[in-house]
A and B are shown apart, each in its own frame.
Chain A
Amino acid sequence: MSEPLLTLDQLAIGYDGHVVLSGISLVISRGSFTALLGANGTGKSTLLKTILGLQPAVAGRIELHAAPGRALIFGYVPQATQFDPLYPLTGFDVALMGAYGRVGPGRWPGRGERDFVRDCLQATGAAGFADRKFSQLSGGQKQRVLIARALAARPDILVLDEPTAGVDVKATRVLLEFITQIHQERSLTVLLVTHDLPLVRKHAQRILWLHDGRALHGTVAELFTPERMAEIFEVEAG
């Protein structure tokens, strides 16, 4: 097995002491593509926030296997719909925020950082509309800018929270192809939250499936069997 990047050990997640999901154990290896699946309300977002350190775990632990002397860097790609359109920011302004983790308080990203952000926008195909107002971009264009921002953070792991929400079918396909491409080209670890089964089947290597208070995990081949699917969807196999 390849080098672990993130380990969840008997993790219990929830809010204010109320457990939403427990007994989650999983190892995410460096360079892997893992999909986090589950219907609405199963705890996907809560698990994601807990992994990102945005809220504490109720029980269990999360081990981050960063290189010695540095913290593990998450390239977080939130849903594009969550941003307030009031902010007069261009796509470039938003992408530049990815570099802020390396720039101390009171200082501004230098030319090198700005050039790197432009490279990230180029890589995600967002350079053409980066000077337009972020709030006026389409769902797919916003996602490309947000992925560029995540890449600008020079992440160890790219974490995408339902990147295809609010994006049309064609743009969804293009976006997922692109994520797969950067995963392969840069050997970048990817954790993708979605409820789109066909996309997961095509792109992901491993799956963490949250269902009915349980967390099932395995490879695509292990989980996409008729028996498992029947169990999850509560229908008879065959």
Chain B
Amino acid sequence: METLKEILAPDFLLRNSVYTSVLVGFACPLVGVFLVLRRLVFMGVALPQVSSTGVAVALSLPVWLHLGAAPHGSNGQTGHLLALAGSTLFTLLAILSLAFMERRGRGLPEGRLGTVYVVATAASILLLSKNRVAEAGWLDLLKGEIITISDFDLKLTAIALALVLCVLGWFHKEILFVSFDRSMAATLGKKVVFWDAALYLLIGLTVSIAVLSVGPLIAFGFLLIPALTAHLFARTMRQFVIGASLLGGLTSFLGFWLAYSADLPVGPTDVVLLGAVYLICGVLNRVLIGWKSIQRL
């Protein structure tokens, strides 16, 4: 309990890391539910990786152009904004290209996503191997070490995720309608391409911010596992969305507490904790279904 008091104290040294982790934990599942409903789980794997490649490319640019390094982390806002621009640009390009190919209905979607994932991973490693800036924090980012988050990073994350939350909440009806039944939505005059694009932009922005703040590993974990867990019990969309978001937020806090107490890396601790919760809930769900079946007999 002493550790918990320490983490909750306003002057806690890593408070920005706690806040960012919890913000990402609450926000990622909100777009994650649509990745699950649209059966785009593999996109949730590939996009954070593409996003981190975008960060690597953006931060390599000054080095390539002989303008000096723009390291990630505490060394200023320019580097962070550059990384955000690279991350967002790469994520949006990837998501829009994948969605376009999906609409054309040609080829194998899983094959495309797998290729994007593996090429993005390889490209990130290549960029890291050739850039001394990697030592200044990229590897920590890729491993999910959330320890050096500045006030500026935190504000940027909070503003971007608040924007995602507002747009998703405001236009939830339209996004759900075109996801569930495109044809009916189109016959009733809804602009299905526009709402699809809006959803993809929100997913892209969330992934970019999450990757930049906490790394691809945690971003992927929080995009999908809370949504998959909440789906086991949800009977309505409201339960699904709120349940996934609460689960993500609470798990991220518990994960941070656990990691801090046991001196473990935060990202992997969060994701393993999410996996454990999913497993326990899955077993509990099976038991409940079995119990209901027995009661009916």
Contact = CB atoms under 8 A, between A and B. Distances in A.
Interface of A: 49, 52-54, 71, 73-74, 76, 78, 83-84, 86-90, 93-94, 97-98, 100-101, 103, 105-108, 133, 149, 153
Contact of B171 (A86, A97, A105): A105
Contacts of A54: 183, 186-187
Given A54-B183, A103-B173, A105-B171, A88 B239 contact: yes
B181, B231, B235: which has the most chain A beta carbons within 10 Å? Answer: B181
A97 B184 contact: yes
Interface in B6-41: 36-37, 39
B177 A100 contact: yes
Contacts, number: 74
A138 B273 CA distance: 38
A88 B235 contact: yes
Category for how many chain B residues contact A: 20 to 34
A101 B189 contact: yes
A105 B171 CA distance: 6
A78 B231 contact: no
Per DSSP, chain A at the interface is loop
Contacts of B240: 88
B183 A76 contact: yes
B293 interface: no
A209 B104 CA distance: 30
A49 B236 CA distance: 30
B170, B171, B179, B187: which has the most chain A beta carbons within 10 Å? Answer: B187
A105 B231 CA distance: 26
B108 to A, nearest CB: 20
B187 A93 contact: no
30 contacts: A52-B183, A53-B186, A53-B187, A54-B183, A73-B188, A74-B187, A76-B187, A78-B181, A78-B183, A78-B184, A84-B39, A84-B180, A86-B231, A88-B234, A88-B236, A88-B239, A89-B180, A89-B236, A94-B180, A97-B177, A97-B180, A97-B181, A97-B184, A97-B185, A100-B173, A100-B174, A106-B173, A106-B174, A107-B173, A149-B184
B112 interface: no
A133 B188 CA distance: 24
A87 B174 CA distance: 15
Given A52-B183, A52-B186, 4 more contacts: A87-B37, A94-B180, A107-B173, A149-B184
Contacts of A49: 183
Contacts of A153: 188
